[in-house]
């Protein structure tokens, strides 16, 4: 079973662990746009901005793996719980994917622990299923016993992370506080170190102490230091994307244990792929293997995924494809097990993005039967169901391939629910033709075979 967050001490890719932060009240639109551009270029986990800028960041970063994080009750935490919940709802509506909320420090110091826990619970409830919640403890204002108590309250309240500091209270993160927080919450939660972290050495010390995320405004200089092997090149961005999207698939229960595999094409003749036996929910750089188009290893000590042959066949047949995803989303996999292609025109999004999704005959996993079975379909579609073996999607980016997997699963789930209600109404020929005209007008990439009205 995969733990929810990376275990302390793992060799994390530094850029993929960074929340690229700009919370200065005087920050301009140009500076926020530059922040987003840097985050995408360097493969940072997220940008962290004030709520006013969330909508802009969500738009700028829409086609990247970079998440949008914002703050609630910032920087003092001393606002009513209802206000924090309202701020959270607004942030989600604007496109936030992560919420860093400030604990009610005054209530905590007054001993009103029930109120502190309720405060966190209400934000968690507002964000439920839509965003990750990190609770800022302001550790510089707490002694060790209070750090343990506050972190425990955050865990009991259902938060996803505990975080050290706002960076506005004069005292930031320390290695000792990070280690104490990690020991308190275990591996089930994330720990974000933030406040005063300005160098690569600072960041690595926090990661070694148990942090799984670093909040800093010094991100670019941090990863550009001479002794940092990670550079803002395609390889490093690809690694960050594989790690992030692997976790996303696992969190959505599209894979379990060591199921599934991901790959990204790098240039004309290299492919970065997850290793065999890797849990996509806890991928780290050492779980990624660089191979050529013949599958021969170029870099990495691990063995590439046993399903690599299928990925390579897609890349060989489709020069326009830059990423391949193989997963086992439940409803789509159930269709594959039932022997049902998803070739009817059910949802407009699926008509335009996927078209008819064929059922590829069963092929023994880990053998050359897989690429042979895929071959007849590769010029006709960007998604297939694999009989008794899940689904595959591909696209011009990993984000695009993941989007197709999500649309495929939604279509399978809606189809199942409609049939269970006794009726599946499909779009008629005129509606389908209109959608295909719009697809052509918009110049959408990829291949598809029109579905059956």
Q: Counting every residue, how long is the chain?
A: 453
User: Strands 132-136, 98-102: parallel, antiparallel or unpaired by DSSP?
Assistant: parallel
- Could you tell me where the DSSP H helices lie in 72-165? 81-94, 105-109, 113-127, 144-156
Contact 339, 362 (CB under 8 A): no
The residue from 84, 155, 192, 404 that is catalytic is: 192
Cis ω on the peptide bond leading into residue 75 (within 30° of 0)? yes
Q: Is 92 exposed, middle or buried (0-12, 13-18, 19+ CB in 10 A)?
A: middle
Q: Known catalytic residue: 100?
A: yes
* φ, ψ of residue 21 in degrees (nearest 5): -115, 135
Q: Known catalytic residue: 6?
A: no
Contact 195, 173 (CB under 8 A): yes
The residue from 163, 202, 287, 382 that is catalytic is: 163
Closest by CA to 123, choosing from 111, 113, 136, is 136
Contact 313, 378 (CB under 8 A): yes
Distance CA 211, CA 181 (A): 9
Distance CA 291, CA 335 (A): 32
Residues sharing a CB contact under 8 Å with residue 213, sequence separation 6 or more, in sequence order: 17, 18, 19, 45, 134, 161, 190, 191, 192, 193
The residue from 6, 100, 202, 287 that is catalytic is: 100
Distance CA 165, CA 167 (A): 5
- Which active-site residues does the annotation give? 100, 163, 192
């Amino acid at each position: 079973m995969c733990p929810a967050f990376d275990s302390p001490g793992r060799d994390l890719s530094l850029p993929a662990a960074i929340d690229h932060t700009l919370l200065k009240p005087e920050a301009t639109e140009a500076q926020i746009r530059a922040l987003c551009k840097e985050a995408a270029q360097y493969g940072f986990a997220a940008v962290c901005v004030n709520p006013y800028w969330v909508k802009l960041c969500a738009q700028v970063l829409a086609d990247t793996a970079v998440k949008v994080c914002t703050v609630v009750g910032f920087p003092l935490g001393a606002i009513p719980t209802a206000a924090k919940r309202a701020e959270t709802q607004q942030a989600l509506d604007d496109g936030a994917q992560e919420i860093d909320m400030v604990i009610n420090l005054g209530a905590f110091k007054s001993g009103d622990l029930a109120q502190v826990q309720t405060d966190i619970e209400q934000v968690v409830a507002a964000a439920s299923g839509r965003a990750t919640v990190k609770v800022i403890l302001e550790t510089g204002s707490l002694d060790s016993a209070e750090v343990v108590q506050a972190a425990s309250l955050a865990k009991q309240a259902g938060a996803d992370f505990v975080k050290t500091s706002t960076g506005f209270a004069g005292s930031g993160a320390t290695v000792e506080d990070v280690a104490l927080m990690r020991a308190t919450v275990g591996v089930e939660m994330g720990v974000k170190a933030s406040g005063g972290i300005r160098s690569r050495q600072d960041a690595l010390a926090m990661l070694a102490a148990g942090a799984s995320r670093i909040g800093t405004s010094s991100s670019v200089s941090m990863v550009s230091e001479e002794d940092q092997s990670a550079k803002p090149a395609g390889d490093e961005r690809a690694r960050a994307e594989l790690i992030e999207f692997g976790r996303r698939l696992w969190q959505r229960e599209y894979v379990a244990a060591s199921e599934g595999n991901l790959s990204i094409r790098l240039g004309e003749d290299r492919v970065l792929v997850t290793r065999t036996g890797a849990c996509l929910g806890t991928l780290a750089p050492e779980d990624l293997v660089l191979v050529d188009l013949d599958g021969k290893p170029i870099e990495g000590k691990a063995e590439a995924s046993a399903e690599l042959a299928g990925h390579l066949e897609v890349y060989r047949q489709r020069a326009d494809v830059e990423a391949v995803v193989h997963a086992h989303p439940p409803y789509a996999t159930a269709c594959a097990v039932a022997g049902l292609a998803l070739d009817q025109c059910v949802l407009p999004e699926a008509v335009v993005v996927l078209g008819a999704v064929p059922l590829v005959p069963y092929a023994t996993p880990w053998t050359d039967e897989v690429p042979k079975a895929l071959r007849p379909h590769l010029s006709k579609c960007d998604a297939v169901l694999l009989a008794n073996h899940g689904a595959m999607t591909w696209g011009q980016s990993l984000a695009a391939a993941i989007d197709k997997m999500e649309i495929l699963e939604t279509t399978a789930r809606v189809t199942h629910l409609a049939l269970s209600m006794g009726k599946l109404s499909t779009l008629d020929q005129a509606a389908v033709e209109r959608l295909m005209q719009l697809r052509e007008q918009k110049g959408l990439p990829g291949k598809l075979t029109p579905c059956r009205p």
